[in-house]
Amino acid sequence: MLINCVAYREGKKLADIGIEAISDYLQQPDCFVWVALRDATPAELDKMRDEFDLHPLAIEDAHHGHQRPKIEEYGDTLFAVLHTLEPAEEGVNVGEVNIFVGRNFILSVRNRSSHPLLGVRERCEREPEMLRQGAGFVLYALMDAVVDGYFPIIDSVETELEVIEEHLFDKGMARLNIERLYEVKRRTVTLKHAVLPLMEAVGKLTSGRVPPVCANSRDYFRDVYDHLTRINASLDGIRDTIGTAIQVSLSSVTLDQSEVAKRLAAWAGIFAVATAFAGIWGMNFKVMPELDWMYGYPVALTVIATTCGILYYRFRRMGWL
């Protein structure tokens, strides 16, 4: 679906144009065209390929989707893949933005995402001195908008992790805490898969040989790279915290099991003594002096009860009961 198709000259909007008029504006000096598509059909992508003379391999990646974040050069054209991340009830929804950048055009194709990129166009149009840099600055603005969308998810993950940490030592919460920690870990891995490859790709736009279309916006891409570096460092910290919290939860489970085992052992010891006395006095030998003693039975019960009481007292002092 076509969202926008706009022509610009010297950082100022000329007009909203139709797809059939793209080639006419591309031939005009100091003019570039910005096209935005959402969930584009194969026919729409093929039409864009013909209008902008895009590389077949880049179009094939856009057709299939589910690409790893990357930035590739095809002659004078740059092809970038970004992952959009949006909070959802069951974790994080992962969308994709494919961006084709040429000397005088930029084409963005958003798939499986409700991430609003219209604000990027409004921002660029409010800054004509920046938009005058052409398609390279628009690529930066799109990247910046996508990367800024990662920060709220990072904040939500950190907040949830703090809540879990507050209940790590609550009785009976170990299993639930471990389940929640693994859910947070899954979201962290999703973020890592979006950030780390993109950080490596953006690094190529800030140092060494920079593609000509991005040369004038190198400083801005360095800002995106700094944001990605900060996010990546936060994810590493979150991952370490999750690992520590999982170990603490497992240790808590082990301690609880040890407490139960000690209680069972203590009661087993008490009943073992009682069973031993009962077994000795319960032997049916003919010659047993206690059998004919008038006070034998109450004395036996007293000995058993006293011994069990002493054991209970000792186990209680030891913290086993």
The CATH H-level superfamily of 1-128 is: CorA soluble domain-like (3.30.460.20)
d(CA 31, CA 147): 28
Of the candidates 94, 71, 62, 99, the residue with the CA atom closest to the CA atom of residue 191: 94
The sheet with strand 70-74 has its strands ordered as 12-16, 2-9, 31-38, 105-111, 91-102, 77-88, 70-74
Helix or strand run (H / E) with residue 109? strand 105-111
Q: CATH topology of 1-128 equal to that of 255-318?
A: no
Instruction: With H, G, I as helix, E, B as strand and everything else as coil, classify residue 101.
Output: strand
Overall pTM > 0.85: no
Do the Cβ atoms of 104 and 32 come closer than 8 Å? yes
Q: Tell me the torsion sign for CA atoms 177, 182, 187, 193.
A: positive
Q: What is the DSSP string of 17-60?
A: --GGGHHHHHTSTTEEEEEEEES--HHHHHHHHHHHT--HHHHH
In terms of CATH architecture, what is 255-318?
Up-down Bundle (1.20)
Do the Cβ atoms of 109 and 40 come closer than 8 Å? yes
Helix or strand run (H / E) with residue 121? helix 118-126
Of the candidates 1, 34, 43, the residue with the CA atom closest to the CA atom of residue 16: 34
Q: Where are the domains of the chain?
A: 1-128, 255-318
Retrieve residue 20's tokens. Answer: 């059939």
d(CA 15, CA 4): 11
d(CA 81, CA 110): 10
Of the candidates 114, 115, 121, the residue with the CA atom closest to the CA atom of residue 141: 121
d(CA 136, CA 31): 13
Residue pLDDT tens, the chain, 321 long: 778 888 888 888 888 888 888 888 888 888 889 898 888 888 888 888 888 888 989 888 888 877 889 999 888 889 999 998 888 777 788 888 999 998 888 999 888 877 777 688 888 888 888 888 888 889 999 999 999 989 999 998 899 898 888 888 777 777 888 888 888 898 899 999 999 999 998 988 887 778 888 877 888 889 999 999 999 999 999 999 888 888 888 777 776 777 777 777 778 887 888 888 777 777 766 666 666 777 777 777 888 788 888 877 777 777 777
